[in-house]
Amino acid sequence: MFSRLYVNEPYYIEVCMTDSEGHPITGLSIGYRIVRLPGTEIESGVLDQCQEVYQKLVRFNNEGQYRIYYHPPEGYPDTIEHVIVEEEKITTISSDLKRALGLLHENIYIDLPDYDENNNLVSARVRIYSNPASVGTSSDVIGTYQITSETIGLGKFTTWKQVSQ
């Protein structure tokens, strides 16, 4: 048996014991042991009986490969489940989307301006925020940029640059 999960995702480890005719067997005490490879025991105990299934809700707090060993009473076969736990990728995508929205001028704040003799903006700091209520503060900043420009006269610039800090 093999499962693929994300870190901290709720997961039921479970076993269904049946007789030779496929009927559920209840009233057993089934132990379990969770091991993070190469060999660190994470948790062990006894599964709870829930109708015809023995189960326990668990969460894996770290990425890695795990084995779950199920230990039923003597006369029943032991089983092993393999679990791969990964960091959820949606978090990274979500941050990238927020940054893109900020670059589209949503929840931005421009400060620390510097002007030339023609009153043209030649540099400033731009910050983008994940939360509109935080705009202008030091909280929830998801990107900071330095903007600079070169000018050749009143209201005329030759270059404009925005660089991530």
pTM of the predicted structure, to 2 decimals: 0.55
Average pLDDT on 57-85 reads: 94
Helix/strand number for the chain, H first, E second: 1, 12
Beta bridge partners, 14, equal 55
Residue range(s) in the chain whose domain bears CATH number 2.60.40.1930: 2-86
C-alpha 71/C-alpha 12 separation (Å) is 16
Q: For the segment 85-142, what is each residue's pLDDT rounded down to a tens digit?
A: 998 776 666 677 766 766 677 788 999 999 999 899 999 999 988 889 999 999 999 8
C-alpha 14/C-alpha 71 separation (Å) is 12
By the 10 Å C-beta count (0-12 exposed, 13-18 middle, 19+ buried), 129 is classed as buried
Between CA 25 and CA 60, with CA 1 as vertex, the angle to 5 degrees is: 100
Q: For the segment 9-24, what is each residue's pLDDT rounded down to a tens digit?
A: 999 999 999 988 989 9
Q: For the segment 23-43, what is each residue's pLDDT rounded down to a tens digit?
A: 999 999 999 999 999 999 999
Q: What is the mean pLDDT of the chain?
A: 90
Q: Which class is domain 2-86?
A: mainly beta
pLDDT at 130: 83
- 94: which 2 tokens? 């979500």
